[in-house]
Structures are given as structure tokens and as C-alpha cells.
Amino acid sequence: MNQERASKFLSLVLRHKPEEIGLMLDAEGWADIAQLISLANKKGTPLTRELLIDIVANSDKQRFAIDANGTRIRANQGHSVAVDLKLAPQVPPAQLFHGTASRFVASIREQGLHAGARQHVHLSPDTETATKVGTRHGQPRILVVNAAAMHRDGFVFFMSDNGVWLTNAVPVAYIDFPE
């Protein structure tokens, strides 16, 4: 199995549908590596410890982490299943960025940014990362979020282990829509 397919499989079972292979995540989203490999292989997805370690170490998006003991793995963010990543609230930079497809901008202008099926809205620390995110969904548009004002007004921010900023929602009043 190539790294890209394996990474997509890990996103599925560690972020969205662990039940697809009978995997159990703990309250913080961790899965036992030996169990993950065994269940994946039983379901016809060839997975090895070496491949997992390679994905965690070399993925440019750093979506996954292995614990200090080397026995558990989890997704760093992006869950649609309820997990508590035990992230501490952080003071965000003045501005954060949200990459989206142009076809979603009208809806965002009306409703702001909402987590949808996920636990948090994902925000990028720079326009380059936001552009990559937006490109995955179509013609990219980069929205600027006034994170300093949100924080001042009581909104809580977290930063995942791979540098993605997370918050529950971003009301329209805090979003700049560059043309």
C-alpha cells in the first residue's frame, strides 16, 4: 500500500469511522497500534508498523502522532467522532487564515465558519497553508480571520500538535473577505 492511500485510510479510521474496522479509540483519540494493524489487515488493508512510522514522520501535513511509548497513534485534529485532544487554550496570532473553495464564500458570508461534522473550525497560521487547503476543494479563496478580536471577545483557540489553529466557530463579523 502506498503512503497516500494508507494516510487516507488512517484519516478515515482515526478521525471519522473507527467502527469501519472495529477499532476502539480512547477518550483522547488514541488507538493501539498493534490492534490497528491487525484489524486493518483483517479487513484487507495491508498496514505495517514501518508504514505507520513513515507516515507520521514524513507526512508534510503531520496529521498523526505516535505516543512517547510508541504503542498508540492518533489524529492530531479533524475528528468527526467525539474525542478530547487535551489541548490547552492558546492566545492566537492577530490574524489567522481559512482556505476554502470559491463556491462556499457566499454561504460563509451569511453564516460564518462552522465546524460542521467536525469538532472545530480549522484555521491556518499563514496564507500558503490556507491556499493548499482551499485548493483541495476547488478554486481557492483565502479568508482572513481577526483572531485577536475574537480572543478579546472571549472566543477560545487551541493549536493542534501539527500547528493547525482550532476554534468552535468564526462569526461573519470577524472575517475579512478579500476580493
Domains of the chain: 3-75 (1.10.10.970), 95-176 (3.20.170.30)
| Top-confidence residue, 43 or 62 | 43
Mean pLDDT value across the chain: 92
User: Given the DSSP bridges, would you call strands 64-66 and 72-75 parallel, antiparallel or unpaired?
Assistant: antiparallel
Main-chain dihedrals φ then ψ at residue 159, nearest 5 degrees: -120, 125
What's the pLDDT at 34? 97
Q: Indicate if the pLDDT at residue 60 is higher than 80.
A: no
- pLDDT tens-place string over residues 71-125: 999 998 888 788 888 889 999 999 999 999 999 999 999 999 998 878 899 999 9
SS3 9: helix
CA–CA separation, 114 and 155 (whole Å): 13
In this model, does residue 49 exceed pLDDT 90?
Answer: yes
Instruction: Look at residue 78 in the predicted model and tell me its pLDDT.
Output: 80
Orientation of helix 33-42 relative to helix 49-58, angle to 10°: 110
> pLDDT for 5-20, tens place per residue?
899 999 999 999 999 9
Q: For 7-11, 38-42, 47-51, 136-140, which range has the lowest pLDDT when averaged over its residues?
A: 136-140
pLDDT interval class at 166 (50, 70, 90) = very high
CA angle 33, 35, 36 (to 5 degrees): 65
